[in-house]
Chain A
Amino acid sequence: MNCQEFQEALPHIVLESGGNAEEEAHLRSCPSCAILVQDLRYIADQAKLLLPMHDPSPRVWSNIERSLRSEGLIREGRMSLMGHITLTPQMNFPSQSKSWTPLGWAITLAAVIVSAVMLVNYHPVSPVSQEVLPSPAVSSLEGTDEQLMGQVAQQPAAVRSAYEDSLKKVNTYIADAKKAVDEDPSDQAAQQHLMGAYDQKAMLYEMGTVRSLQ
């Protein structure tokens, strides 16, 4: 094997473990190729030692937080002792406002009132520990479907019917997607559907809450 043949084979040689007998024999006999391999190993080794060195600017987190709040993924109020999520209005960011903050204080007061009504009317089967709380995407949302319907009870019949029908469809979506994920946890499509189903449910709740306060 000559140098040209060796270097053509080099891309497919795993540097750490070495080549076949012929390739190794060439390395032993060719100082130039040996230096080349040594250099390439050194570069690969040094690359492994490269540590992440830089932080992104603070605006990155600001933007993330703003988006999360506008999507309702951040809930400032922690889970109450009775397992309910108390909603607070989204923060207003003047440069990118897509929220309802101008009504924020009214919504806050109304949300507190709604939460209080929920608390008064909520009869838990068993106490819920604050440390071990189920994901709101699953049990707390499902458990408050009736309360969502209560929130839209004052709406016209056609609107109430739209909420009820939508809730049923979305719950079916969640159930189907959960089943698919349980059957194959590595199925990314199923995971994507489950995430999408939860997003749909969250949208229903957000719209129902806003509607009840208007």
Chain B
Amino acid sequence: MNLPYKTAAVSALVVLGVTFALAADTHKQTFNIAPSGTMNVINNAGSVVLRPATGRQASVSYTALSDKVETDCSSTPDGRRVEVRTHALAGQKPTPEESRVDYEIAVPAGVSVNISTSTASITIENLSGDFSLSSDTGQITVTGVTNSFVHVHSLTAPVTLNNLSGVHAEIMSTSGAVQMTSVTGPKVNVSTTGGDISYTGNFSGGGTYSLITHNGAISVSLPETASVDLSARSISGSVENDFPLHDKSHTTFIPTPGRSFAGTSHTGSSWVELQSFSGRIRVKKQ
């Protein structure tokens, strides 16, 4: 290939590269957000990652994979509300892949954040505040959150909660599996229709834990040191237990081997209720 052609080819590649780079540009905006302010994020496809901010400002970095969508960011003058929204440009009908925008958001502690996605994944790490997360099919992962309200809605999105403490968690999933490891707090309610629910941890803190499903499987693994008042019931599914419990003298139902049991361990400080309609419930000692 002679030089002019080479030059033309390289130039074309550069132009293409620039074009893609422009389409995949990362933008960043920062906002003053009030200590009890709210951030709303709507992003159907791609990902949303939420991490702690170092100061009192919130920052939003976003990368769109096509030029058929754009991000609108705005905030109220008093910083009480910040809006982040992905939308298709007028006249454009982006494919699911073209709709993807990846967000990296940093917020100060104590802020309320509402995130709604369709297929985009949601990740929250090492924060405290109020979090309402909703996703149709995108994976939801919450890690290292303390003293917070965590509210999750999922259709088939798998939900993973790791190392949460002092939380009031309300998790509702139709078919997405809910996996919890070391999740403790005053109240943890999980309900699914078909999604499996698994809990590994000690249910500590004297809280109330309720895991209920239609026909998903409930698996609980807890250490012998766990102090729980534990009951498990299934209307037509099986119930298995190999965790040592003392029988309770009075229960609100009559324990039936293979269908239900109730008992306490140590001082029974946390209240744990496992219920399935027809799913299997299994409790085991770690």
Q: Do chains A and B touch in the complex (CB under 8 A)?
A: yes
Given A97-B38, A173-B277, A193-B277, 16 new contacts (CB under 8 A): A94-B80, A95-B36, A97-B112, A98-B151, A99-B114, A102-B83, A103-B40, A155-B118, A162-B136, A163-B136, A165-B175, A172-B214, A173-B214, A189-B235, A193-B212, A203-B174
Neighbouring B residues of A193 by C-beta, 8 Å: 212, 214, 235, 275, 277
Near B by CB (< 8 A), chain A positions 97-156 give 97-100, 102-103, 155-156
> Could you tell me the distance between the alpha carbons of A176 and B237 in the complex, rounded to whole angstroms?
13
Q: Are B153 and A203 in contact (CB under 8 A)?
A: yes
Contact of B175 among A95, A166, A177, A207 (CB under 8 A): A166
- Tell me how many residue pairs across A and B have CB atoms closer than 8 Å: 113
> Could you tell me the distance between the alpha carbons of A73 and B40 in the complex, rounded to whole angstroms?
22
Q: Are B193 and A162 in contact (CB under 8 A)?
A: no
- A sample of 13 inter-chain contacts (CB < 8 A) reads A94-B80, A102-B40, A158-B119, A159-B137, A162-B175, A166-B156, A166-B175, A169-B214, A204-B155, A207-B155, A211-B136, A214-B44, A214-B87
Asked if B253 is at the interface of the complex by the 8 Å CB criterion, the answer is yes
Contact of B212 among A99, A100, A192, A206 (CB under 8 A): A192
Asked if B116 is at the interface of the complex by the 8 Å CB criterion, the answer is yes
Asked if B109 is at the interface of the complex by the 8 Å CB criterion, the answer is no
Q: How many residues of A contact B (CB 8 A)?
A: 40
> Could you tell me the distance between the alpha carbons of A188 and B137 in the complex, rounded to whole angstroms?
32
Near A by CB (< 8 A), chain B positions 82-138 give 83, 87, 96, 112, 114, 116, 118-119, 130, 132, 134, 136-137
Neighbouring B residues of A95 by C-beta, 8 Å: 36
Q: How far is the CB of A145 from chain B (nearest CB, A)?
A: 14
> Could you tell me the distance between the alpha carbons of A186 and B227 in the complex, rounded to whole angstroms?
31
Asked if B280 is at the interface of the complex by the 8 Å CB criterion, the answer is no
Near A by CB (< 8 A), chain B positions 8-66 give 36, 38, 40, 42, 44
Asked if B191 is at the interface of the complex by the 8 Å CB criterion, the answer is yes
Contacts A162-B156, A193-B214, A200-B191 given; does A98 touch B137 at CB 8 Å:
no
